[in-house]
Structure 1
Amino acid sequence: MSSLKHAGPLPRDSDIAIVGIAGEFPGASHLDELWPLLCNASLVISPIAQQGRWPASQSTGYCQHAGFIDNAHCFDAGFFSIAPVQALHIDPQERRLLQSAYHALENSGYFLDAHGDVGVYAAAMYAHYQRLDEGTTPFSTSFAQIANRISHRLDLHGPSLCVDTMCSSSLVALHLAATALRNGECRTALVGAANVHTTSGKFRLLCDGGYLSRSGRCHSFGAQADGYVPGEGSVALVLKTFAQAQKDGDKLWGVIRGSAIGSDGGASAFTVPVAEAQARVMQKALERAAVGAEQISYVECHGTGTPVGDPIEIEGLAGVYGAARKAASPLSIGTVKGNIGHLEAAAGLAGLAKVLLQIRHRQLAPNLGAIPANPKLDLKAAGLRISSHLRDWPGPHLAGINSFGAGGTNAHVIVQAPPVPAPCTPAPTGEFFFPVSGHTPEALRQRIEHLLQWLDRHPDATPYSIAFTLACTREHHRYRICVAASQLDTLRTTLRLALDSAFEDSRKAAASLPGPPVPSGNSAMDYQRGISVDWNALYPQKYLVELPPYPFGRQHFDALNAESAKLTAPAEPPSPKASSLLQWTCIPGTGPSLLLLTPTNVSIRAWRAQIAFFQRQHFNLLIPIYPGHDDNQLPPAPFTLPDVADEIARYIDQHLTGPIHCAGWSLGAAVALHLADRHPHALHSLTLICGSARFSYSIPHMLRAFSKEVHHWRELIDLQLGNDLQGKCTLLAGASSQALALYYPLLRSHDLSDRLSSLSTRTLIIHGAADTCISEQECRQLGRLLHSRIAVLPGGHLLPITAAMSLNTLLLEHML
């Protein structure tokens, strides 16, 4: 493209373009969350014990800290057509990289032309997810599966292999992929690596070798360097030759000019690095890149923070880069390990991801852990300086990345900023179709929510580019919507309305048609009926934007940790007993348990929005049905609210393990307070919605206020709860006048105001600003609880219905 402007050396046709990237890191679920973390010099290492990965009886040696990703053992098996029992025995590293690979292909626009001529070059170094003991159900994993699974599930036909050179694995895989592209072995290459801590034994193994930090920090190049902190992560890149990327009109993240790999040989002990060997691969990569050492303005170092390794790496850098620089312009160096830990097999790609973000933002991120500096490192004499604060990075943007394996395999990569394209022609205007889909209704709902959040962050995006990206570069799944809009404001409004829709399976719609599907000429209608639409004809001009990735489901799979399996086992309903006050509705899930306690004469169906939301989060949901409510008969003997609380506590003791969360609404909040007071160790957290320690209004006042609010919100209640019955009727629990006559004295006598200061359960208090059943003073009184915070939402006493989204978000944040 002769119209391209270059801030550095001209990319050559055989150079390697990075056209797509995706990743997850400690503290950053997606790549766009990593840059703020780096800019703010955030440390996201956490205590191992807080994760609850393994029973407390399992030692991790002297290492007490590590970097963890969210939901490491979670996977969307259904999306990839993998049976749950099969997914259980797939290495979590394989699962996480499969999802990251899919996201990277989305980011690259691959599905615009899913040609299949894609090689997969994966990296891993720990295969601890296996069980071969006598007397157990055996299973084992193979590194080959990590790459082969991606090729199989995504129908990719190029070379498929996995590399293990320990900590340099991912850059070695990158080098092999670049070589294959230059040799014409595939048109596109997918490079990826994953690292997940699957056993506590890994930490003991590394502690025995003295590799890990006792201080819980990667003090790279710092005086306190005492070893590294292991980190989890998954990174995937999509690569093409620069010539192919130009031909395809791809957006570029960066260009790899050269790479080299080599070994320490036998010059030192097996795990002790050799400066001369590291220098050789740096020099060879520079030669292949056809640039001088003096042109490189930043190096992302291996920098593990070990007393032996850091000085040797500085010596190698000084011999290649330092010697080529003037004293007034030292080379800036840094490493991402100070922020997120050492991602081991994925460390090289994590460092490359940081460099690509620095290139995109034209800034160098601060390095953590090097203050005070290691006195053994004479950085000034070496012509180097540690990037200690966020600062501008003037071009040309040429960088090196180091990655060294404990067994002596070294890798170095030279990357440059992509050429700046000439200004694009304006995007077409007019009304466009915006197709959005998901493998499940929950996934579709999340995609809409994420798209709305993206639109708020990108007010200058063009409607055409969004429509093109959704229609032409994303796969289309079973549950679908398609909206038309010409302006972003209209698109936002239409998408928000779509959130309240009942999403239908497009396959059923297509199957109901008599004979083969026939396009109607209305693309939106055809799409929602499961009929193929030629989106490429509708959007012939390529305007790719980085929309949010597909929201994979989060079902938990961990075959190794029996204690974890026990903690997440769905609850079984209790055996009926004549003395039982309660009946139970149980909705099993693999996550934590959540008790939902309902108001007087309100059906458990009033929790409909919460049930749907927390089912998507895989919570184990339990809702007791009070005596006299929803067909649960009144007992012959009188009972009190403490009796109900005791009955719930017995249920917890007999049927549940692991963390138990409780959300009580109105009368349910009163029951929840008694539960926390009488059984202080039963609950992990407590949420009181429109609750009170002592009801200040009279019962008639509360009844009138509640009835008035129900009437005010009748249309929304009908919409949310109404099926064959009107919503208001569905909302009520059908308690008889005899039953209600028993509950009113319980409400009047409820008084735990003197006990609040002694309750220790972590509590969230949610109050409706316009609640006329519960006063603001009652809410403030609950604030006397020891570990509590108050959140006020717009609305009255029906917050779980009228402010469901905000309330659900508060609940989830509080519990997790």
Structure 2
Amino acid sequence: MSSVVDQIVISGMAVEAPGGIDTLSAFWTAIAESRELIGSFPRNREWPVEQLLSLHRTQGWSRVADAGGFLSGATEFDPMFFGITPREAISMDPQQRVALRVAWRALENAGINPGELDGADAGCFMGASINEYGPPAAAVTEYSGYRATGSALGAVAGRISHNLGLVGPSLTTDTACASSLTALHLAASALRAGECDWALAGGVCVMGSPAAFFEFAKNHALATDGHCRSYAADATGTLWGEGAGVVVLENESRARALGHRVYGRLLASRVNHNGKGAPIAVPSVSAQCQLIEKTLSAAGIRPDDIGLVEGHGTGTPVGDPLELTALAKVYGAVDRVTGSARLGSVKSNVGHAQAAAGILGLIKMLLAGANGQIPASLHTDRPTAEIDWDATSIRLAAALEPWEPVNDTRFGAVSSFGVAGTNAHAILAMPVLEDLDV
């Protein structure tokens, strides 16, 4: 494996997740306790809830359960703390607001004072997708004049850079459900290229409208029972959720010199596309295999070094078997004596957070490494029969269990796949930590 000197490391992180979770400790506790953080549709967003719940009465539509992984604090924001006027704050896509406060907390977690960064050569890379917030810009409203920046996707990252005074590269990327891992990859690439001294990377999803529920109900790809059953035999589809996560990336020499904690080393990340062939939303086994193998090669480790795979695991009858086939070909084709990776998905706890899905899985991975435990993935009592589990060494993480390090390091992998055909994969090395105050 390549030298750890000046590896890119993650030295700070923060999260917001369904169930009122806005701290790392609360997030880990919920995951370690196998809690499902799903709730009913929010009634304070002016959504047509009754229409949603009756869609199945229309021919060609599937049932929509009164369920999802919603952020309870999505409507809460302290504009004056960030120097933003109340009227502008209301005009801002809530994804900008949530991303800004989570980025602030990630910096504090790293031991960096967010108020002393004006002029810092730091980048900001965020994954996000358009989620239909607010009235149309082509209308006369009391918020006219703020809609250009309030609804711009680029302002998710731009707002963070502007508020903190960061002068490095700042961009929002939309590769659908692969967005946040793509943002992580771009941030790491910028650091390696010397484009910035350090960077923030992550993703956010706050649904301004229930459009995703309508779309997947029409495509019969939505969970009809209100649960995201990743890799389960009784999965009926995905369940939409919300969330946000941001990590601080820097070279390890810098982190050590500044006394920052090292949660993990980003050994490698890669992004590719399915190419042509199947419909654009259908995953490709060959593309995923190629991606995983390239990432492993760049990381300089073997498949049997990986102890935990945080998979995409949407719970769809089409996507999960294809993903499992790819994982089984690479991570499952090892000697069970030397390696047997556990597989799970945080979506089984919080639902599918779309553009933020990958970063939530990555933070789950880092917390598992810090605590030395592999948490259970929910709904594993009946794994899908679409693959031959006897022919692969990979196993669903069915219970909280110790995660034994190898030479004081735990290795893990995270996957995300987007509906437009983009795939992202990252491999992490997590040193044994003594300070677990996260």
TM-score, with structure 2 as normaliser? 0.90
CA 1:183 to 1:134, structure 2 compared with 1: closer, same or farther past 3 Å?
closer
Distance 2:318 2:48 in 1: 34
Give the number of aligned pairs: 417
3-state SS of the aligned residue for 1:411? strand
Q: By how many angstroms is 1:283 displaced?
A: 0.8
Instruction: State the partner residue of 2:227.
Output: 217
CA 1:165 to 1:362, structure 2 compared with 1: closer, same or farther past 3 Å?
same
Q: Deviations over 1:740-778 (max 9, x none)?
A: xxxxxxxxxxxxxxxxxxxxxxxxxxxxxxxxxxxxxxx
Q: By how many angstroms is 1:243 displaced?
A: 2.3
Pair 1:194-2:186 in alignment? no
5+ long unaligned stretches in structure 1:
1-8, 424-457, 459-544, 547-816
CA contact (8 A) 1:14 1:182 kept: no
Instruction: State the partner residue of 1:83.
Output: 85
Q: By how many angstroms is 1:49 displaced?
A: 5.9
3-state SS of the aligned residue for 1:369? coil
Of 376, 390, 406, 2:386 maps to 376
Matches within 5 A, 1:379-390: 379-390=389-400
CA 1:262 to 1:201, structure 2 compared with 1: closer, same or farther past 3 Å?
closer
Instruction: State the partner residue of 2:130.
Output: 126
Moved more, 64-73 or 271-280: 64-73
CA 1:173 to 1:49, structure 2 compared with 1: closer, same or farther past 3 Å?
closer
Distance 2:2 2:400 in 1: 28
Instruction: State the partner residue of 1:47.
Output: 40
Distance 2:166 2:339 in 1: 46
Pair 1:400-2:413 in alignment? yes
Pair 1:67-2:69 in alignment? yes
CA 1:382 to 1:267, structure 2 compared with 1: closer, same or farther past 3 Å?
farther
CA 1:409 to 1:371, structure 2 compared with 1: closer, same or farther past 3 Å?
same
Pair 1:346-2:350 in alignment? no
CA contact (8 A) 1:11 1:257 kept: no
Q: Deviations over 1:618-663 (max 9, x none)?
A: xxxxxxxxxxxxxxxxxxxxxxxxxxxxxxxxxxxxxxxxxxxxxx
CA contact (8 A) 1:315 1:382 kept: no
5+ long unaligned stretches in structure 2:
56-62
Pair 1:280-2:290 in alignment? yes
Instruction: State the partner residue of 2:174.
Output: 164
Q: Which has the higher contact order (CA 8 A, sep 6+)?
A: 2
Moved more, 255-264 or 27-36: 27-36
CA 1:127 to 1:382, structure 2 compared with 1: closer, same or farther past 3 Å?
same
Distance 1:198 1:11 in 2: 45
Distance 2:259 2:98 in 1: 29
The aligned amino acid for 1:259 is S
Distance 1:89 1:133 in 2: 10
CA 1:225 to 1:11, structure 2 compared with 1: closer, same or farther past 3 Å?
farther
Pair 1:12-2:4 in alignment? yes
Distance 1:166 1:321 in 2: 25
Distance 2:381 2:346 in 1: 15
Matches within 5 A, 1:596-635: none
3-state SS of the aligned residue for 2:420? coil
CA contact (8 A) 2:272 2:423 kept: yes
Instruction: State the partner residue of 2:59.
Output: none
CA contact (8 A) 1:327 1:383 kept: no
Q: By how many angstroms is 1:105 displaced?
A: 0.8
Distance 1:249 1:255 in 2: 16
Distance 2:288 2:26 in 1: 32
Instruction: State the partner residue of 2:22.
Output: 29
The aligned amino acid for 2:204 is A
Q: Deviations over 1:433-471 (max 9, x none)?
A: xxxxxxxxxxxxxxxxxxxxxxxxx9xxxxxxxxxxxxx
The aligned amino acid for 2:24 is L
3-state SS of the aligned residue for 2:80? coil
Q: By how many angstroms is 1:132 displaced?
A: 2.1
Instruction: State the partner residue of 2:250.
Output: 240
Pair 1:270-2:280 in alignment? yes
3-state SS of the aligned residue for 1:323? coil
Pair 1:110-2:94 in alignment? no
CA contact (8 A) 2:2 2:300 kept: no
Of 250, 269, 274, 2:260 maps to 250
Instruction: State the partner residue of 1:296.
Output: 306
Distance 2:269 2:6 in 1: 13
Distance 2:309 2:345 in 1: 9
For the pair shown, the structure with the greater C-alpha radius of gyration is 1
Q: By how many angstroms is 1:324 displaced?
A: 2.6
Distance 1:333 1:234 in 2: 22
CA contact (8 A) 1:314 1:382 kept: no
The aligned amino acid for 2:34 is A
Instruction: State the partner residue of 2:58.
Output: none
The aligned amino acid for 1:13 is V
Q: By how many angstroms is 1:198 displaced?
A: 1.4
Sequence identity, in percent?
36
3-state SS of the aligned residue for 2:233? coil
CA contact (8 A) 2:304 2:339 kept: no
Q: By how many angstroms is 1:170 displaced?
A: 0.3
The aligned amino acid for 2:171 is L
The aligned amino acid for 1:118 is A
Q: Deviations over 1:536-570 (max 9, x none)?
A: xxxxxxxxx76xxxxxxxxxxxxxxxxxxxxxxxx
CA contact (8 A) 1:16 1:255 kept: yes
CA 1:135 to 1:261, structure 2 compared with 1: closer, same or farther past 3 Å?
closer
Distance 2:338 2:370 in 1: 26
Distance 2:423 2:389 in 1: 22
CA contact (8 A) 1:15 1:258 kept: no
Q: By how many angstroms is 1:65 displaced?
A: 1.0
3-state SS of the aligned residue for 2:369? helix
Q: By how many angstroms is 1:390 displaced?
A: 0.6
